[in-house]
């Protein structure tokens, strides 16, 4: 018995994984995407958020059999903009907002597990790419409200992903991210090779990262299937 179905929840940075499915690169038969552009982890605590991500994700999960694998990808908007913006607006530290985001993510993860989904994978938040001083494009202009450097946003994302990794371990679910594959080790920023050719586009170049995403996702399937087979053997015994 192997994973036959995958439901993917998250923000618009999942476009690379959607391309991987379109190219037939994933080792799974059926994939359902629930992508909410602009979705944040912290917004998962609010059923009335502007993006309505929580309700959209709940609806997507309710339609899936419980033996489906669930993959979640959120956090880029939190680390690149919302954590800083909320800290400034509400006069709180970025650490408070950081922990609020992680707590909201953890609460949603617990909800998914309580629904009966046992094969769950959290993926690390996508790294920021918009360079300092960029003032073109809707996303860049909105984020320009927060005067935080690309280095600071990237370092926060590293911390965030470490917290997600720890959360996954504590919750008994899987975790992966593509950071090591796309970071320039000399600058600790996204390597120019993986940047979107459009400087206003905050997504990575999907044609460059599609293979990375597919490889990481297939590794998750492999490990999950091995674990499932071991559990079946124990049950038979």
Region 5-236: CATH code? 3.40.50.1110
Q: How high is the pLDDT of residue 88?
A: 93
Q: What is the pTM of this model?
A: 0.92
Q: Where are the domains of the chain?
A: 5-236
Consecutive sets of 10 residues in the chain, 237 residues long: mean pLDDT of each?
85 97 94 97 94 97 96 97 95 97 98 96 96 64 78 98 98 97 97 93 96 96 71 48
Contact 54, 46 (CB under 8 A): yes
Tokens representing residue 198 in the block: 């459009």
Residue of 178, 214, 215, 194 whose CA lies nearest to 21: 214
Contact 174, 220 (CB under 8 A): yes
The per-residue pLDDT for 232 is 44
Half-sphere exposure of 130 (CA within 13 A, CB side): 25
Q: What pLDDT score does 143 carry?
A: 66
* pLDDT value of residue 231: 55
State residue 229's pLDDT score. 56
Q: Please state the separation of Cα 98 from the chain's center in Å.
A: 15
């Amino acid at each position: 018995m192997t994973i036959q179905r995958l439901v993917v929840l998250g923000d618009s940075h999942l476009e690379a994984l959607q391309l991987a499915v379109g190219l037939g690169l994933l080792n799974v038969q059926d994939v359902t995407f629930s992508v909410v552009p602009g979705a944040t982890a912290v917004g998962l605590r609010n059923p009335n958020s502007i993006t309505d991500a929580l309700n959209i994700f709940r609806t997507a999960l309710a339609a899936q059999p419980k033996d489906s694998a669930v993959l979640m990808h959120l956090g880029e908007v939190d680390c690149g903009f919302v954590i800083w913006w909320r800290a400034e607006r509400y006069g709180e530290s970025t650490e408070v907002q950081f922990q609020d985001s992680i707590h909201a993510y953890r609460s949603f993860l617990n909800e998914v597990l309580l629904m009966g989904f046992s094969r769950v994978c959290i993926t690390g938040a996508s790294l920021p790419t918009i360079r300092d001083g960029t003032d073109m494009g809707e996303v860049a202009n909105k984020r320009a409200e927060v005067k935080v450097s690309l280095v600071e946003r990237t370092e926060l994302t590293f911390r965030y992903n470490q917290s997600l990794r720890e959360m996954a371990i504590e919750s008994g679910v899987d975790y992966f991210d593509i950071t090591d594959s796309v970071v320039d080790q000399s600058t600790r920023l996204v390597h120019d090779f993986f940047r979107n050719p459009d400087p206003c586009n905050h997504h990575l170049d999907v044609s460059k990262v599609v293979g990375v995403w597919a490889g990481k996702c297939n590794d998750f399937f492999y490990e999950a299937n091995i674990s499932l087979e071991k559990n079946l053997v124990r049950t038979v015994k």
